[in-house]
Structure 1
């Protein structure tokens, strides 16, 4: 029987990199009652053999190191495997997985009535968002239906040696995108809400929105609302001038260039550093309704019923796959549907996925060398990790 390719098989596993702390902890007044569906009766236990076999073949010319963590199935402890110079508790740059953190903070602020999700973003950021985008709402930023222009003038190979250490402010990322769109004469942007196009600029604007309505930095809000309450001791958002990664961590290369130290310019869109265990703790809390009240919890898993842009390589068959919670809904070739997010930065390709009932949860971090696409490795990990999961 012919099968359609899974969403991740066509997924462009590249973050926008290629295209701070306050006292107190946040606790929403009314948490969502978990509405986790029962696990499918046909689900079986996780068999680590295929993942172990994959990791045994590494390092190779395409992937220099890897970390895979599989939890659930009633296991007292997660299964963890590594390859290359990577430790099970390694820190890594999570790239666009950061989007789930940012969306959760925004939805918490919506629950506090400090942000209205269906209000125009320009109401809050009139000096940042041009009049041409005056009807774009916060919800449309969250679910990538805003029609905002893509990033322009961000650090990349064209900047020459050491480009991965070059930085750009969040404000400049957004302003350059709008300026470039205006200079190309591309005409009117698509009608907001009409099509889904994955775009990191949406999340940069969301981060700036958090700062505007709270009067604190995004990093401060991230820490007081998520990192500290959940005890995510291995998770941080570096300051703009901090190029380091806390130990232990892999030393990563793209070609012959070591890119371990790099600018965290991707910020609220992709600048967070974390560990596999911390990511699993965060996703578990989110899925169980510990972070959002019921209305916002439902929104976090709502994917808009609009077409996916033809230029969007993240979702198949021109059907939207991103929710207003920063999550990606993926149905694998096995038929198992998972929710999570991928994220990449030079030297790292990561992902965090789980079945909706949390019966099987997977976090991975690969260290691609840039010589060829690492997507087959990602798919091999996910197909093996979620085999028999539903």
Structure 2
């Protein structure tokens, strides 16, 4: 192993390799569960160094675990004492935004929020968004085909990627850094890597598609009495807003109560006794007209008794406060620690029954278990957070 480490050291140079306490003092996932147990952490600076490192590991039969922002909740970055970590933290170069073609090229270790901010500074939008935006890296977003809060409007990560550079397990470099939307020249290699979870190789660079920056944004939190009216409200808003519906985030009562409960950092914008809560948002290019359409759609939903209550954000601060409730994964993890997290996609009409079936099965096996449900109803995706305390596997 020392011979391999020495050879890797010559590839990545000073600062590119961590061993000993520099490894054990680091985390290997969220939530932290003790220090990283890997033999070493390799921190390449570019695709070439990734390629040479993986070639050496392949030759030696050395297991490798890739680390990005370590925001995943499914244990994919956990390491054992025989593993070697390939951390992309030094691969954090973001090239200037190409405003003419509405693209940006980035290394895989760049946090999502940096890309969002760079796009906005250029008057454009990178629409992928999720609660861990400040830490989650774009390489991990691509490897998991992350969804996030705006799938209903812009699609998954897959729809935001134009080109990819990656390295296979044996060190072979694959480059398909396409910069145009229309490309029908042959096999679309990038789509094999998007969502591959690292099974085909390590994504090192990507060309991302940017969109026009919205000029208007309307946000509301509403309470819905039952699931049938929840589905009806989704259909009504999608129809009334003329293609500008960009988020439809649903929180079951158990999630909302947990996050806004006594002693929590969030206020209670709505009474905590309703069955469902929806954070609904519209973005567009006509500030006055979009706002009027949004308010009219909410008023109509109230008139038709789809909604039990609603609060409309009147400022950016109020909007941020509403989103903070939905995005409070840290509060969720603390309450359910150690959390068991599941990300499930299914037919919208099956969601209500599915959640109740899971809740019932959990109660049968672990009477003290706690479960909360929330997610992106508009694209058929829900999250289940489950806490079983000391009974966790």
TM-score strictly above 0.5 = no
Higher strand share: 2
TM-score (norm 1): 0.24
Structure number with larger C-alpha Rg: 2
More RCO (CA 8 Å, sep 6+) = 1
